[in-house]
Structure 1
Amino acid sequence: MVGPETLAGQVDIADALGAAPGREPAWISFTVPQDRGDEAYFAPLAGLRAGPGTELYLSLVSYHPDKQARGTAEAQAALIDRFLPGDGRPWGICTECVMARAERADVPRLIGLHREILQRLATAG
């Protein structure tokens, strides 16, 4: 399995879904590998054209948080805020694959990590 080099492909898919006739997507989730903190990865968000009714979620909750450098989620969040279109749209966090790969026993910790990251982002911003 190979992770995405940038968010460009995901932004293209999101834009295509939003431009298709019919109902606007309710939400879109973007993959953010836990070790990515470079501008090039996040820069394609600047071209995102998702409609205002589409909620955006970025996977800042790592399946392996003990292997992630402290402050990674905050650095990634700063890049997301920098590159998302300037409409002031709020965005949320999720795990990669929306917890599809999580073991049942890991779910309570992952939910706790959502809370912890959101609290850190609230105090950082």
Structure 2
Amino acid sequence: MPSHSVLLVEDSEFITEHVSTALESAHGFDVDAVTTGEATRATLADEAQSFDCIVSSYELPDETGIDLAASLEEESVPFVLFTGNPLEPLVDEALSAGVSAFVSKSTHATGEMNVFANRIRLAIEAHGN
């Protein structure tokens, strides 16, 4: 199975380490991480790098993950929102901003992260990458 490249946008060092390690070792993803929306846009502007999916926390130091998704609509890369907040109040706004899928930190960011990895794969496949 070919490896997928993921850009993780998360300002918690602990969560970044846990998610990156699990996705790389147990699921074969290549993961790069940044901590802000601004760093995300700078990374995506570097033509030497390309990603199959962006996974972003909802709460970032400089904006929300939904604001970030809306600013990246022309990137044509699936965008997975990763949040500890209740999903229901965010769904409509997130979908209109271009969010492809949702993952709850509380229920899917533990252990081997099988559900999380599957959501990323499904988002990539749905986008045709």
The structure with more radius of gyration? 1
After TM superposition, is the score higher than 0.5?
Answer: no
Larger relative contact order, structure 1 or 2 (CA cutoff 8 Å, min sep 6): 1
For Structure 1 versus Structure 2, the TM-score category normalised by the shorter chain is 0.3 to 0.5
